[in-house]
Structure 1
Amino acid sequence: MSDQLRVRRDVDATPEQIFAVLSDPARHPEIDGAGMVLGLAAGGPVSAVGDTFTMNMNNSILDDYQVTSRVTAFEPGRRIGWSPCGLAGDTLDRLGDMKPGGQTFTFELEPNGSGGTTVTQVYDWSGVEDPQFRSLMPFLKEKHLAETLEKLGKAAG
């Protein structure tokens, strides 16, 4: 089994419009196909690899929590990605010995010739080292990624 999911869709928006949504974490609740992103806690629009932002989140395992992500790819109008790299508050206590980390979420944008963009979302967990955390992978399913791309088209259009 591969350590990544890839979903590709044509979106009726330009690469620049799509990149504007993706590079502004405050807009991520609009495009979250898994229903876990509640809102921006810290950070602003990102502009380079290494930038960070913190999101308020909720899922069935951790309930409410905050996660900080670091930008891992940044090519305006072409490619953007991030990796969750830190949990805030008592979240780590709730995880016990589990050490999260190692996932990346990357969006590749390619003009499709009809004025729109072919967007490929890559969810990659090949960098997950902790066996307990790895046992939860893939936490997101293909349907979540597909829904994200549907919502991204509406948000960017």
Structure 2
Amino acid sequence: MDTQHRRVVVERLIDAAPEPIFDILADPRRHHEIDGSGAVGRPDATAPERLHLGAKFTTRMRFIPTDLAPSTFLQISIAAVHLGKLTNTVLEFEEPHRIAWCNFGRHVWRYELHPDPVAPTRTLVRETFDYSTNLLPELIELVGFPDRNRESMQASLARIAALVTGAAAEA
């Protein structure tokens, strides 16, 4: 964890070109398929079919705790306050290389896609949870979100890899 800058970064080399990976990331109707935390549900009916710079999309959030971790209870509390929905705004959109969004907490979820220079049909995918801009970064750390999100992000990248390659996702 990069505590100085309050960023969590995970990477994975995926056997696919950047375009099909970006297509999944740019489709908010598929975010529940790639979410490794299990907290993101299907988007509401107002979600665009494809994101763009400045686009807003709202997803449902998990209401039922899956464990007794402090981060779980904070996430459930946020879901309750927001009536089970969370609206995000796309902050960065450079097709097919970068996409990022944030919600009311102001932390940023970013995906960067870098084609492998040796094998252009492989892509290094970097996912970043940047909470340096969060309203309460100390709370994010106190409840353990950085470590918990690292695990979820690794699972998300495995799900993306499975979707674009047709392989089964790793457990």
Normalising by structure 1, report the TM-score. 0.82
Unaligned runs of 5+ in 2: 66-72, 166-171
Q: Residue 75 in 1 paired to residue 83 in 2?
A: no
Compared CA separation, residues 37 and 83, structure 1 to 2 (3 A): same
Change in CA separation of 1:129 and 1:148 when aligned onto 2, cut-off 3 Å? same
Specify whether residues 16 and 137 from structure 1 end up closer, same or farther in structure 2 by C-alpha distance, changes over 3 A only.
same
Cα distance in 1 for residues equivalent to 2:112 and 2:129: 11
Match for residue 130 of structure 1? 136
Indicate if the aligned counterparts of 1:125 and 1:138 stay in contact, CA closer than 8 A: no
Partner amino acid, structure 2, of 1:138: F
What is the match of residue 90 of structure 1? none
Map of 1:1-157 to 2, 5 A cutoff? 1-2=3-4, 3-41=6-44, 42-58=46-62, 60=65, 61=73, 62=76, 65-85=84-104, 101-112=105-116, 113-114=118-119, 115-130=121-136, 133-134=139-140, 135-136=142-143, 138=145, 140-157=148-165
Aligned residue pairs, count: 142
Backbone CA RMSD of aligned residues = 1.9
Residue 68 (structure 2) aligns with: none
TM-score for the superposition, normalised by structure 2: 0.75
In terms of fraction of residues, the more helix-rich structure is 2
User: Unpaired segments of 5 or more residues in structure 1?
Assistant: 86-100
Matches of 1:21 and 1:54, distance apart in 2 = 16
Q: Is the 8 A contact 2:131 2:137 kept in 1?
A: no
Please give the alpha-carbon distance, in whole angstroms, between the structure 2 residues aligned to 1:137 and 1:81. 22
The residue type equivalent to 1:130 in the other structure is L
Deviation at 1:45, TM superposition (A): 2.8
Contact 2:18 2:97 in 1 (8 A): yes
Identity among equivalent pairs (%): 28
Matching residue's letter, 1:76: E
Q: Does the C-alpha gap of structure 1 residues 117 and 38 become closer, same or farther in structure 2, counting only changes over 3 Å?
A: same
Shift of 1:117: 0.4
Superposition misfits of 4+ residues, deviation over 4 angstroms: none
Closer, same or farther in 2 for the Cα pair 1:155/1:127, shift >3 Å? same
Relative to structure 1, the CA distance from residue 129 to residue 25 in structure 2 (aligned partners, 3 Å threshold; closer, same or farther) is same
CA shift digits 1:51-93 (9 cap, x unpaired) = 00000111533275100000011001100011013xxxxxxxx
Quick check: 1:125–1:137 contact (8 Å CA) kept in 2?
no
Higher strand proportion = 1
